[in-house]
């Protein structure tokens, strides 16, 4: 299947689904239009609402806050994950002692932490950052830990024979290996940072995309919920695209084999 | 039955740069212990090319690792320049059988880093690395990452990486094993031409008898595992410079081949027998 054909089919499928949605919510085929629209809204209304959100500029503040929370959660979570992952991998005794607690903390569904974070950090952005942090941290931590542990013994022996001391091994062998594992999970960790931000907003806040959707739900404004969802998915696709660009630059040395998590 | 042909071993007066003195290597403890090498003694003079052959799993690489300082012998000692090996041997360069390049560095960076860790300024290191990569025929591939190079090209980068520090001892562990026959021949010629420019002591491990004879001054034969010993030492008196493919046509080459194979045959059979019984080396 060539590119143009694929693109046409993709657009066609999307258009078909929208058309189906439009028809069943505009014409009384399955029952009363008003009732159906209450539950499923209507694509034209949703489009108009999205246009309004952008036209009036209301959305920008919410997008900005969600983006800020996502980035902060990602940066702080990755930083902590790298440092602790490195530390554990180089100190097997520390890792062995902490192992059950790390597993326990990771097994906990993060949503239950949201109320506690709100208590600690208030309703502003930091409770959302904290929630995103708990998600990002473990992904990066496990990947960095694995990356340091699984350095090829031959590459390591070779580096030693080249005369590298511990510090140089860290810089030229362990560090790049750990980073490559971390970068291979970039999509997942950025995605989880966003999940943390939106879920946090949804559970209690005064701004952000999650708040927007939650507010619309509270007033049975289904059109508003759908509009928020569409904006959110477009936002995620955009961020994911950005990550793909960054990844392409950082992992240029990798063979293009499908070996990522 | 073989007769150790010690008579053919060369007699030298110069001091050995590498000396293995009754080296034994044992892995593990108790009843599960496995002795890879027993009482191996070997002298390598400066500038001498010594090949070690033996059946699979016979501890050839173990001996190299002892000289490199990557593995401590359980008995006996290894001496380099008269000093006991403790920690990594600084004077030695090691060419591994497997890919040992850092995959996240380009060919140039892989070679240059060997100098940089020794304190050479990055710019100068890169310049010298570029020069050496050109000598191994990779002038146009300096910016490639290892996965973008063929197996033979990766070996050339590894060769340059080893040689750039100018080590006085080269340790090679079946370095051309994974390559196809033609590339092996070319790599052998390349190695000989680089080596003849400034003769270093070489310990070259291989299971390929013809490769050993065509490259080396001496071929040392090891017995089958476990508890491998050095059981023969043949001096190869073929003229240099040699061409890997042409030297094999010499009548003298076949005499050496026959003589060494006589020593090796029983051991190879033993090794295969052991493998069939599921007792291959760990």
Judgement on whether residues B184 and B76 belong to the same structural domain of the protein: yes
- A66 to chain B, any CB pair closer than 8 A? The answer is no
Helix (H), strand (E) counts: chain A: 13, 0
- Cβ A147 vs Cβ A223: under 8 Å: no
- Residue of A217, A218, A198 lying closest to A208 (CA atoms): A198
Q: Provide the pLDDT for residue B274.
A: 66
Q: Give B114's contacts in chain A (Cβ within 8 Å).
A: 162-163
Q: Give B90's contacts in chain A (Cβ within 8 Å).
A: 163
Give the residues across from B75 on adjacent strands.
Answer: B24
Closest chain B C-alpha to A13 CA, distance in angstroms: 39
Across B151-186, b (16+ Cβ under 10 Å) vs e yields ebbbbbbbbbbbbbbebbbbbbbbbbeebeeebbbb
In angstroms, the CA B99 to CA B151 distance is 9
In this complex, which of A157, A162, A252 lies closest to B70 when CB atoms are compared? A157
Judgement on whether residues B36 and B110 belong to the same structural domain of the protein: no
Domain A42-250 falls in which CATH fold? Answer: MetI-like fold (1.10.3720)
Q: Give A162's contacts in chain B (Cβ within 8 Å).
A: 113-114, 117, 161, 165
Q: Give A259's contacts in chain B (Cβ within 8 Å).
A: none
Using a 10 angstrom Cβ sphere, with 0-12 exposed, 13-18 middle and 19 or more buried, the burial of residue A163 is middle
Give the list of residues 6+ apart from residue A211 with CB closer than 8 angstroms, or none.
A62, A201, A202, A205
Q: Give A154's contacts in chain B (Cβ within 8 Å).
A: 96, 98-100
- Cβ B245 vs Cβ B79: under 8 Å: no
Judgement on whether residues B178 and B253 belong to the same structural domain of the protein: yes
Q: Is residue B1 part of a domain?
A: no
Q: B37 φ, ψ to 5°?
A: -130, 140
In angstroms, the CA B111 to CA A49 distance is 60
CATH of the domain at B199: 3.40.50.300
Q: Provide the pLDDT for residue B277.
A: 54
For residue B101, count other CB atoms closer than 10 A to its CB.
24
The residue of chain B nearest to residue A255, with distances taken between CA atoms, is B147
Judgement on whether residues B194 and B60 belong to the same structural domain of the protein: yes
The residue of chain B nearest to residue A158, with distances taken between CA atoms, is B100
Give the residues across from B79 on adjacent strands.
Answer: B19, B84
- Say yes or no for a CB contact (<8 Å) between B94 and A255: no
Judgement on whether residues B180 and B122 belong to the same structural domain of the protein: no
**Model confidence pLDDT, tens digit, residues B69-78:** 999 999 999 9
Q: Give A166's contacts in chain B (Cβ within 8 Å).
A: none
Task: List chain A residues with pLDDT less than 50.
Answer: 259-261
Between vectors from CA B33 to CA B32 and to CA B37, what angle results, nearest 5°? 150
DSSP B32: G
Task: List chain B residues with pLDDT less than 70.
Answer: 1-14, 274-282
Of B131, B151, B166, the residue that ends a domain is: B166
- Residue A234 tokens read as 């477009």
Q: Give B88's contacts in chain A (Cβ within 8 Å).
A: 160-161, 163
- Say yes or no for a CB contact (<8 Å) between B118 and A176: no
- A188 to chain B, any CB pair closer than 8 A? The answer is no
Give the three-state DSSP class for B126.
helix
Q: Give B145's contacts in chain A (Cβ within 8 Å).
A: 252-253
In angstroms, the CA B186 to CA A77 distance is 51
Judgement on whether residues B174 and B114 belong to the same structural domain of the protein: no
In angstroms, the CA B38 to CA B227 distance is 5
Q: Provide the pLDDT for residue B11.
A: 45
Give the list of residues 6+ apart from residue B183 with CB closer than 8 angstroms, or none.
B151, B152, B176
Taking CA atoms, A105 is separated from A119, A142, A159, B7, B193, in Å, by 19, 13, 36, 70, 60
- Residue B86 tokens read as 């403790």
- Say yes or no for a CB contact (<8 Å) between A253 and B103: yes
**Model confidence pLDDT, tens digit, residues A117-151:** 999 998 889 999 999 999 999 999 999 998 888 88
Give the list of residues 6+ apart from residue B228 with CB closer than 8 angstroms, or none.
B36, B37, B38, B40, B54, B58, B59, B60, B222
In angstroms, the CA A20 to CA A96 distance is 56
- Say yes or no for a CB contact (<8 Å) between B101 and A158: yes
Q: Tell me the ipTM for this assembly.
A: 0.84
Give the list of residues 6+ apart from residue B252 with CB closer than 8 angstroms, or none.
B237, B238
Q: Provide the pLDDT for residue A243.
A: 86
Judgement on whether residues B121 and B32 belong to the same structural domain of the protein: no
DSSP B281: -
- Using left for φ > 0, alpha for ψ between -120 and 50, and beta otherwise, residue B137 falls in left
- Say yes or no for a CB contact (<8 Å) between B70 and A161: yes
Beta strands, E only, chain B: 16-27, 34-45, 49-53, 75-80, 83-84, 92-95, 169-173, 201-205, 218-222, 230-235
- Residue of B74, B80, B72 lying closest to B20 (CA atoms): B80
Give the total residue count for chain A.
Answer: 261
- Cβ B221 vs Cβ B232: under 8 Å: yes
Q: Is residue B282 part of a domain?
A: no
The residue of chain B nearest to residue A178, with distances taken between CA atoms, is B104
Closest chain A C-alpha to B241 CA, distance in angstroms: 29
- Residue of B190, B164, B169, B197 lying closest to B49 (CA atoms): B169
Q: Provide the pLDDT for residue A158.
A: 94
- Cβ A243 vs Cβ A78: under 8 Å: no
Closest chain B C-alpha to A93 CA, distance in angstroms: 22
Handedness of CA B196, B197, B199, B203 (dihedral sign): negative
Give the list of residues 6+ apart from residue B245 with CB closer than 8 angstroms, or none.
B185
In this complex, which of B70, B102, B114 lies closest to A155 when CB atoms are compared? B102
Q: Is residue B281 part of a domain?
A: no
- B161 to chain A, any CB pair closer than 8 A? The answer is yes
DSSP letter string, B209-236: HHHHHHH-SEEEEEPPSSSB-EEEEEE-
Judgement on whether residues B148 and B191 belong to the same structural domain of the protein: no
Judgement on whether residues B152 and B65 belong to the same structural domain of the protein: no
- A150 to chain B, any CB pair closer than 8 A? The answer is no
- B92 to chain A, any CB pair closer than 8 A? The answer is yes
- B139 to chain A, any CB pair closer than 8 A? The answer is no
In this complex, which of A157, A172, A255 lies closest to B102 when CB atoms are compared? A172
- Say yes or no for a CB contact (<8 Å) between A176 and B102: yes
- A252 to chain B, any CB pair closer than 8 A? The answer is yes
- Cβ A132 vs Cβ A193: under 8 Å: yes
Q: Provide the pLDDT for residue B14.
A: 61
Give the list of residues 6+ apart from residue B232 with CB closer than 8 angstroms, or none.
B2, B4, B5, B6, B220, B221, B260, B263
- A123 to chain B, any CB pair closer than 8 A? The answer is no
- A158 to chain B, any CB pair closer than 8 A? The answer is yes
**Model confidence pLDDT, tens digit, residues A35-68:** 888 888 889 999 999 999 999 988 999 999 999 9
Judgement on whether residues B61 and B108 belong to the same structural domain of the protein: no
Q: Give B146's contacts in chain A (Cβ within 8 Å).
A: 253
Q: Is residue B153 part of a domain?
A: yes
- Say yes or no for a CB contact (<8 Å) between B103 and A173: no
- Say yes or no for a CB contact (<8 Å) between A154 and B161: no
Which structural domain, as residue segments, surrounds residue B264? 6-91+167-276
Start-to-end C-alpha separation, chain B: 27
Give the total residue count for chain B.
Answer: 282
- B175 to chain A, any CB pair closer than 8 A? The answer is no
Judgement on whether residues B87 and B114 belong to the same structural domain of the protein: no
Between vectors from CA A36 to CA A32 and to CA A41, what angle results, nearest 5°? 140
Between vectors from CA A242 to CA A240 and to CA A247, what angle results, nearest 5°? 90
Extents of the domains making up chain A: 42-250
- B70 to chain A, any CB pair closer than 8 A? The answer is yes
Give the list of residues 6+ apart from residue A181 with CB closer than 8 angstroms, or none.
A143, A144, A146, A147, A150
Alpha carbon of residue A51 to chain centroid:
25
The pTM of this model reads: 0.77
Q: A2 φ, ψ to 5°?
A: -80, 175
Instruction: Please state the domain count of chain B.
Output: 2
- B99 to chain A, any CB pair closer than 8 A? The answer is yes
């Amino acid at each position: 299947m060539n590119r143009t054909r694929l693109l046409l089919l993709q657009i066609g499928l999307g258009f078909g689904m929208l058309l189906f949605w439009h028809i069943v919510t505009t014409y009384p085929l399955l029952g009363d239009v008003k009732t159906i629209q209450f539950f499923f809204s209507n694509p034209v209304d949703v489009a108009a609402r999205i246009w309004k959100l952008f036209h009036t500029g209301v959305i920008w503040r919410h997008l900005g806050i969600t983006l800020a929370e996502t980035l902060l959660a990602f940066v702080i979570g990755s930083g902590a994950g790298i440092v602790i992952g490195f530390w554990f991998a180089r100190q097997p005794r520390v890792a062995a002692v902490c192992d059950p607690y790390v597993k326990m903390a990771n097994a906990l569904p993060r949503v239950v932490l949201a109320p506690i974070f709100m208590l600690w950090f208030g309703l502003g952005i930091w409770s959302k950052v904290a929630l995103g942090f708990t998600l990002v941290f473990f992904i990066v931590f496990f990947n960095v830990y694995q990356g340091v542990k699984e350095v090829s013994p031959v590459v390591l022996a070779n580096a030693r024979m080249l005369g590298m001391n511990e510090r140089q091994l860290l810089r030229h062998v362990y560090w790049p290996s750990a980073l490559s594992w971390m970068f291979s999970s970039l999509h997942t960790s950025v995605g989880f940072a966003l999940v943390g931000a939106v879920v946090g907003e949804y559970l209690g806040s005064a701004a952000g995309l999650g708040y927007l959707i939650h507010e619309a739900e509270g007033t049975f404004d289904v059109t508003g919920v759908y509009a928020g969802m569409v904006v959110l998915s477009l936002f995620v696709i955009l961020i994911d695209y950005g990550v793909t660009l960054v990844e392409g630059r950082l992992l240029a040395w990798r063979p293009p084999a499908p070996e990522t998590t | 039955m073989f007769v150790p042909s010690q008579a053919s071993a060369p007699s030298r007066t110069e001091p050995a740069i590498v000396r293995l003195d009754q080296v034994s290597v044992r892995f593990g403890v108790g009843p599960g212990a496995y002795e890879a090498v027993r009482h191996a003694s070997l002298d390598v003079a400066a500038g001498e090319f010594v090949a070690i052959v033996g059946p699979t799993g016979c501890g050839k690489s173990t001996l190299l690792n002892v000289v490199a300082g990557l593995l401590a012998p359980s008995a006996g000692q290894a001496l380099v320049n008269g000093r006991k090996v403790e920690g990594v041997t600084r004077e030695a360069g090691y060419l591994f059988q497997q890919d040992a390049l850092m995959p996240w560095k380009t060919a140039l960076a892989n070679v240059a880093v060997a100098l940089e860790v020794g304190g050479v300024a990055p710019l100068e290191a890169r310049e010298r690395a570029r020069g050496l990569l050109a000598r191994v025929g990779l002038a146009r591939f300096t910016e490639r990452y290892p996965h973008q190079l063929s197996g033979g090209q990766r070996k050339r980068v590894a060769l340059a990486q080893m040689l750039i520090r100018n080590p006085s001892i080269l340790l090679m562990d079946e370095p051309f094993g994974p390559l196809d026959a033609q590339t092996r021949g070319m790599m052998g010629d390349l190695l000989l031409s680089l080596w003849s420019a400034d003769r270093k002591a070489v310990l070259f491990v291989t299971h390929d008898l013809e490769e050993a004879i065509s490259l080396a001054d001496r071929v040392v034969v090891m017995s089958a595992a476990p508890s491998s010993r050095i059981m023969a030492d043949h001096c190869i008196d073929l003229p240099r410079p040699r061409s890997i493919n042409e030297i094999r046509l010499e009548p003298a080459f076949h005499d050496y081949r026959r003589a060494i194979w006589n020593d090796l045959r029983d051991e190879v059979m033993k090794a295969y027998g052991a493998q069939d019984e599921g007792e291959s080396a760990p």
